[in-house]
């Protein structure tokens, strides 16, 4: 159970790391190991609001890396998915870090069109 790393700006605004809180709770309920530091954000990304799917993918490409050696399947947890660009970039970082497969669990799915307004 691996949370998507929270953006530092989002963390300051919210005051909490929602993906990590969700991942911890789900891991506890499912009796799965929780690995809060398995992924890390290695570079700052622009605000994705208002960007199209291709722009979002370019913005997050290479922005995440494995913070630990991974193995087996990983359940990646995030709060919201819009274009899935962040989930895809994090999944690639997990695979690069040794995961054999990546599953993604999100709390909410936002239509891409709604993110542009």
Which residues span the domain enclosing 30?
2-115
Give CA–CA dist 85/101, Å, rounded.
17
What pLDDT, on a 0 to 100 scale, did the predictor assign at position 115?
A: 56
- Contacts with 85 (C-beta within 8 Å, 6 or more apart), sequence order: 48, 53, 56, 57, 59, 60
Other beta carbons within 10 angstroms of residue 101's beta carbon come to 11
Q: How does pLDDT run across 10-25, given as a tens digit for each residue?
A: 778 888 999 999 999 9
Tokens at 49, concatenated: 């609001």
Question: What total number of domains does the chain contain?
Answer: 1
This prediction has a pTM of: 0.89
């Amino acid at each position: 159970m691996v949370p998507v790393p929270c953006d530092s700006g989002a963390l300051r605004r919210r005051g909490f790391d929602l993906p990590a809180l969700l991942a911890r709770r789900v891991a506890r309920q499912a009796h799965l190991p929780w690995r809060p530091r398995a992924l890390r954000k290695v570079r700052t990304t622009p605000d994705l609001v208002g960007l199209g799917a291709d722009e979002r993918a370019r913005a997050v490409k290479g922005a995440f890396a494995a913070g630990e050696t991974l193995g087996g399947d990983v359940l990646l947890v995030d709060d919201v998915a819009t274009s899935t660009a962040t989930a895809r970039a994090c999944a690639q970082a997990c695979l690069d870090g040794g995961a054999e497969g990546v599953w993604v669990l999100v709390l909410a799915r936002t239509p891409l069109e709604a993110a542009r307004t």
